[in-house]
Structure 1
């Protein structure tokens, strides 16, 4: 997780930093082929140069973005998990549990759906 070291040190709240580290470590443990990258000052995971999932932190939540196509595909699952969402991301409040099953489904979906993708973002 060396790619995220500077980003993580900028999360002032220790419990929030620990939670983000746990999520990133879980992703790397579950999906060892993903590459951790920091682009546009946002931590994200890529595979063969294409975006799989990205994150950003805010005062009250962690934002998760599986791209707009992923948001549409998992809209019902996101709503059932109780997360608030926009067109491009959903929010996990710091006091809410992380739905790892949902994260796993999103990451697996993007890995499979973008297996032949030759661009960073979907076209």
Structure 2
């Protein structure tokens, strides 16, 4: 997880920093086949060179990006979890619990759906 150390250390609020560390560590632990990377100043995980999921710290939340297809596929689950969303990301407020089962489903979905993907993003 050294790849994320500089990013995480730049999060001023210690509670937010700890939450981000927990999410990134959980993802790496649950999915050791994924490669942790920083691209566009965003922590993300890739598989065979293709984007799987990204996380970013914001003032009031963690932004989670599973690509538009992931947001669309899990729109009802995101709403049930109480997270707000756009077409490209959803937000976990710093004070909200992380629904790790939802993250796990999204990551598994992207790994499966992008198994034959040769580019970084879906086309």
Q: TM-score range by the shorter chain?
A: over 0.9
- TM superposition shift of 1:32: 0.3
TM-score (ref. length: structure 1):
0.99
Aligned pairs, number: 123
CA distance in structure 2 between the partners assigned to 1:65 and 1:93 by the alignment: 14
Q: CA RMSD in A?
A: 0.5
CA distance in structure 1 between the partners assigned to 2:103 and 2:91 by the alignment: 12
**Structure 2 regions of 5+ residues with no counterpart?**
none
User: Does the alignment pair 1:95 with 2:95?
Assistant: yes
CA distance in structure 1 between the partners assigned to 2:94 and 2:22 by the alignment: 13
The residue aligned with 1:13 is 13
CA distance in structure 1 between the partners assigned to 2:110 and 2:97 by the alignment: 23
User: Does the alignment pair 1:104 with 2:104?
Assistant: yes
The residue aligned with 2:32 is 32
The residue aligned with 1:68 is 68
CA distance in structure 2 between the partners assigned to 1:51 and 1:64 by the alignment: 13
TM-score (ref. length: structure 2):
0.99
Runs of 4+ in 1 over 2 A off after TM superposition: none
CA distance in structure 1 between the partners assigned to 2:107 and 2:22 by the alignment: 16
3-state DSSP class of the match of 1:121? Answer: coil
3-state DSSP class of the match of 1:98? Answer: coil
